[in-house]
Amino acid sequence: MTRLMIIFTAITMFVMPDDSLFQNTSAQTPNQSSKVRFTEAFTFPNDCTNELMDVTDTTTITCHDQQRAGGTFSEKCEIHQDVTAVGQTTAITWQGEATFKDDFVTTDGCNFSFSNRGKVHLISRGSAVNTIITFDDFVRMQDCIMTDDQHVVSFDCRGAGKP
């Protein structure tokens, strides 16, 4: 889970323009949008089948950035993934989609908030268990002190194939 949070934070920082953070301006700067697409492969646990899955996905991230006159920078991103996962023990193949909404707001390097909320729907063929994974992450830093650091993952196991 921490790995995913680090990945999403790194991706968010990657798609932000270099000159957009922490600028004090006398007027709101123009809004900016960006879009990036990539593929990745990793392992992830499946609590429904008590095994690791080999996961591959194609990810599309679309972000909208806004710099306010007072120096506040905000970025809202939608992350869409087309996912294929294979259980390392059961060999169950799941296919599905994931959608995440990220929100990043900052005034400087010591004051920011980041939220990431989303669901992954993994549908198996036949009567094997279907898996819905829900993510809810929230991080807040105030005056360089981490005041909130919440990472919640839950699994909803559906179907006759649940062990």
pLDDT digits (tens, 9 = 90+) for 41-96: 999 999 999 999 999 999 999 999 998 888 889 999 999 999 999 999 999 999 99
pLDDT tens track for 125-149: 888 899 999 999 999 999 999 999 9
This prediction has a pTM of: 0.77
Do 53 and 44 contact (CB within 8 A), yes or no?
yes
The sign of the dihedral angle between the CA atoms of 56, 8, 153, 43 is: positive
In degrees, rounded to 5, the angle at the alpha carbon of residue 58 between the alpha carbons of residues 19 and 120 is: 100
Res 25 pLDDT > 80: no
Res 5 pLDDT > 70: no
